[in-house]
Amino acid sequence: MNARQNELETLLRKATFSLESLESRVVDYQERLDDMKQRVVDQQEQVDRATRVLNQWINAPTKTKQQVMALATTMGVEVIDNGLHEGWYSIEIQAPYGSQFSESECQYMDYTYHESECTKNMLWHIVYDCMFGGLEEREEDDDE
């Protein structure tokens, strides 16, 4: 009986060890699953962000340089296209003497955007909106 009891105890230890090993694997697999779920959530957030940016770019209003120049000519606004330098678009506009842009209350405005922020035609639309917002007569400072 002693030999049989030793054999059963040995089998019980092996079974206990196997069970503990399986439980450890289950915990390990559960941790991996949780990590993968978090990765999926993170990747979905990146996809959502990228989709929003892409839609913003696709649906952004645009104007051409010719459209802006046509408006500028009728309004007497000087437009200087500084082009693209080191990834930056730059456009300057200046209201006629004695006028200012109603949006900024300034006679001169400079629009500088990185090419990762907008396309050139998106920037032309921003400039167009400013000019279309209108010109106002400047109030002369009393100090001058």
Q: Are 61 and 74 in contact (CB under 8 A)?
A: no
Distance from chain centroid for Cα 119:
14
Looking at the DSSP assignment, which residues form a beta bridge with residue 101?
Answer: 106, 135
Q: How far apart are CA 74 and CA 135, in angstroms?
A: 12
Q: How far apart are CA 121 and CA 132, in angstroms?
A: 16
Tokens of 72: 């500028």
Taking only the tens place, the pLDDT of each residue in 92-127 is 999 888 888 776 778 888 999 998 888 889 999 989
Q: What is the pLDDT of residue 141?
A: 52
Taking only the tens place, the pLDDT of each residue in 21-76 is 999 999 999 999 999 999 999 999 999 999 988 888 888 889 999 999 998 998 88
Q: What is the pLDDT of residue 40?
A: 96
Helices 120-132/65-75 angle, 10° precision: 20
Q: What is the pLDDT of residue 48?
A: 94
Parallel, antiparallel, or unpaired for β 135-137 and 99-101?
antiparallel
Q: How confident is the model at residue 143 (pLDDT cuts 50, 70, 90)?
A: very low
105 closest CA partner among 129, 81, 82, 130: 130
Distances (CA, A) of 78 to 73, 129, 137, 140: 8, 15, 16, 21
Q: What is the pLDDT of residue 35?
A: 96
Residues 6+ apart with CB under 8 A from 36: none
